[in-house]
């Protein structure tokens, strides 16, 4: 089913201007228009945009997306380069995930201290990190 730009933006939680921008910079192929000038997105374009949105949500920068799309346009001789670009993105995401996992575990530990009552009147909070209260209370 063909979608209007508004419908497509809503489907992917994007701003209409973002879709227009993606088209302007070449991330989205030129979008066909109806007789009244309105853009319409067929299923093929919708799948393309879904891929772009997925890559953006995974942290791929617009600059890298443009590079990726340019590689796709060049054909099969760029398969290895495309794969390498995606592998690098996967590596970066894995590093971010490790960092997030550490932060989540620290938060869970801290929440557990509150839930078990080990932190009362901030006493255990300072003791846990062996932070001297006078250091924390110093004025800059």
pLDDT in tens, 58-88: 889 999 999 999 999 999 999 999 999 999 9
Give residue 101's pLDDT.
Answer: 96
Which of 54-63, 97-106, 118-127 is the most confident on average?
Answer: 97-106
The domains found in the chain, sorted by start residue, are 3-98 (1.10.1660.10)
Write phi, then psi, for 12 (nearest 5 degrees): -105, 15
Q: Which residue intervals of the chain are DSSP H helices?
A: 5-11, 16-24, 43-57, 62-74, 79-115, 123-128, 133-136
Give residue 48's pLDDT.
Answer: 95
The C-alpha torsion from 57 through 61 and 65 to 71, rounded to 10°, is -130
Q: Which two tokens stand for residue 110?
A: 């801290």
Q: Which two tokens stand for residue 73?
A: 């346009």
Q: What is the pTM of this model?
A: 0.69
Rg, Å, the chain Cα set: 24
Q: Which one, of 27, 36, 110, lies nearest residue 64 by Cα?
A: 27
CB 133 within 8 A of CB 139: no
Q: How many CB atoms lie within 10 A of CB 11?
A: 14
CB 79 within 8 A of CB 39: no
């Amino acid at each position: 089913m063909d979608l209007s730009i508004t419908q497509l933006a809503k489907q992917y939680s994007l701003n209409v201007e973002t879709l227009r921008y993606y088209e302007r910079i070449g991330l989205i192929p030129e979008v066909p228009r109806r007789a009244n000038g309105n853009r319409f997105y067929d299923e093929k374009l919708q799948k393309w945009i879904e891929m772009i949105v997925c890559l953006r949500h995974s942290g791929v920068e617009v600059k890298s997306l443009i590079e990726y799309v340019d590689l796709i346009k060049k054909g099969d001789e760029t398969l290895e380069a495309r794969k390498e670009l995606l592998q690098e993105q996967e590596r970066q995401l894995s590093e971010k995930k490790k960092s997030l996992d550490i932060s989540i575990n620290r938060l869970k530990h801290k929440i557990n201290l509150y839930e078990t009552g080990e932190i009362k009147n901030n006493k255990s909070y300072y003791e846990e990190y062996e932070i001297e209260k006078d250091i924390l209370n110093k004025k800059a």
